[in-house]
A = this chain, B = another copy of it.
């Protein structure tokens, strides 16, 4: 403070303010911030009378308007109250316990960081061993990961730019809960051409994923506590979607003809919904036989049950045409059809869709009015153009060839490198193969342990055992080849061989150690 103000400083409490004219922070904010801190730290007690703006401006050698601006803000924030005759004082009603401990450091760096008092459900989660996260991009074999180079991003970027340059009113403001009208049209057309069934674009719902679609659909057709059959083993997301809608999942063992309606009815005669992947079961790759398809449809007709058909990788089949979806055989509207673009194009897209039976369109619209989760609109217009302009068909054709080559390469390399350890079955469709332990190592093979050991070596595989809702019947490794270049496959399998060898031989070493 300057000497000339010292005489006045006796009449008002010393506020200890000091302004820095060279700071980028305006002077009135500096005053405000320093007074705020003085009040919160207890240096300026509640009720303390403050100097007038004129006096303070003289003290601080600044314009009176600057002080007035600062005081106005402090009054607006409640730190300061203005009294009769425009005198100001520190608010008297501030709780004492908040004004004693000085605030130091970043506010969130407090002592509670070490032991958070979170919910019991969160503590239980934290107590679990986290799944190992590989450092850097996976070498191989992430499940459901398409090739990263194959997608025409430059074209995609142009389509996005075209879509958003002058967006329609739909794009810029609220959108139909089922998604972008153009995209729903394009999907309906694509399904007619490529998957052999006609549907009303009005019955297409764009979702963020198959999980989202299933959770929505089960909310519409089932009540909490109702039963739904799921495939055992199967896609973990199905169980999660059912749990979300309060529906009981009844696992039904898959055999070589796929899901068995007979076994399902024996397990839960009153189930109201069957969730199946007829074209290509995940993860086993089984195709649902025609007989079973017709039995399942017959059950749905007879009992007014529902069928959710998950067709997410039905597009990839390397011998013959893709099998027609169950939905093409549905004559009374009991089948909802689910598919996803995220695995066909690129995962960050997060766009999937579901085709409702017409009878459920209105009810689903009502449900969606109530829930906030919608598919992101940003990419929907560009995706509509991508499909309508033929790029989607081209991309599928190209990736089919690419993945067919990778599948062959994986089968060949596996026969050479994994001989006697793992057997890879030649599933003719999909984006992954399953490696099962050979008989001589099966007893010591724990797929979760092998997965963790592989992750430590930069290999992303997925254990088959986690696909079981109930008792684990088989161990194995799911090897996604679609996102793994041929050149990497051999190297990755050599590493995998080492990992598996180490994993299945520790007991021998231990025995050797004991013998010594």
- Measuring CB to CB, which residues of chain A are less than 8 angstroms from any residue of chain B? 40, 72-73, 76-79, 91, 93-95, 97-99, 101, 103, 106-114, 116-122, 125-126, 128, 130-131, 137, 142, 145, 148, 151, 153-154, 156-158, 160-167, 169, 171-175, 197-200, 203, 208-209, 211-212, 219-224, 226, 237, 240, 287, 289-291, 293-295, 297-298, 302, 304, 319-321, 323-324, 327-334, 346-350, 357-360, 362-363, 366-367, 369-379, 483
Given contacts A76-B320, A119-B226, A363-B116, contact A377 B350 (CB under 8 A): yes
CA distance A106 to B332 in the complex (A): 9
Q: How far is the CA of A113 from the CA of B376 in the complex (A)?
A: 30
What are 23 pairs between A and B in contact, CB < 8 Å? A73-B321, A78-B289, A94-B294, A107-B197, A110-B359, A112-B334, A113-B359, A114-B359, A121-B219, A128-B366, A142-B173, A148-B173, A151-B172, A156-B164, A157-B164, A160-B378, A167-B348, A173-B346, A175-B348, A208-B372, A240-B371, A350-B374, A350-B377
Q: Complex formed: what's the CA distance from A271 to B237 in Å?
A: 33
Closest chain-B Cβ to A352's Cβ sits at a distance in Å of 11
Shortest distance between the CB of A438 and any CB in chain B (Å): 29
Q: Is the CB of A222 within 8 A of B119?
A: yes
| Contact of A291 with B93 in the complex, beta carbons under 8 Å | yes
CA gap between A330 and B328 in the complex, in Å: 59
Q: In angstroms, how far is the closest chain B Cβ from the Cβ of A477? A: 19
Q: Is A173 touching B348 in the complex (CB atoms < 8 A)?
A: yes
| Measured CA separation A402–B479 after assembly (Å) | 56
7 additional A-B residue pairs with CB within 8 Å, beyond A110-B359, A118-B360, A142-B174: A113-B333, A125-B363, A125-B370, A148-B172, A173-B347, A240-B372, A348-B378
In the complex, A302 Cα to B208 Cα: how many Å?
A: 41
- Are A111 and B332 touching (Cβ within 8 A)? yes
Pick the residue among B117, B223, B289, B362 that contacts A119 (CB under 8 A): B223
Give complex CA distance A350, B208 in Å: 13
Which B residue sits closest to A317, measured CB to CB?
B76
Whose C-beta in chain B lies nearest to the C-beta of A28? B321
Which of A77, A287, A298 lies at the interface centre, i.e. has the most chain B CB atoms within 10 A of its CB?
A77
Q: How many Å from the CB of A430 to the closest CB on chain B?
A: 15
CA distance in complex: A483, B164 (Å): 19
Please, how many angstroms separate the alpha-carbon atoms of A370 and B369 in the complex? 25
**Is the CB–CB distance between A110 and B332 below 8 Å?**
yes
Residues of B close to A110: CB separation below 8 A = 331-333, 359
The answer to whether B298 and A95 touch across the interface, beta carbons within 8 angstroms, is yes
> In the complex, which residue of chain B has the Cβ closest to the Cβ of A133?
B369
> Quick one: closest B residue to A381, CB to CB?
B348
CB distance from A165 to the nearest CB of B (A): 4
Say yes or no: A76-B323 contact (C-beta < 8 A), given A160-B161, A161-B158, A348-B173.
yes
Contact yes or no, B145 A220, CB < 8 A: no
Cβ–Cβ < 8 Å partners of A321 in chain B = 73
What are the 9 tightest A-B residue pairs by CB atom distance, in nearest-first order?
A376-B376, A78-B290, A110-B332, A161-B161, A157-B164, A98-B294, A116-B359, A108-B333, A348-B377
Note all chain B residues with C-beta closer than 8 A to A297. 98
Q: Does the CB pair B107–A328 fall under 8 Å? A: yes
Q: Is the CB of A372 within 8 A of B295?
A: no
**Cβ-defined contact, A333 with B107, below 8 A:** yes
Cβ-defined contact, A165 with B154, below 8 A: yes
- How far apart are the CA atoms of A143 and B213 in the complex, in Å? 28
> CA–CA, A465 to B334, complex, Å?
40
The CA of A161 and the CA of B324, in the complex, are separated in Å by 37
Distance A351 CA – B458 CA, assembled complex (angstroms): 33
User: Once the chains are docked, how many angstroms separate the CA of A330 from the CA of B109?
Assistant: 10
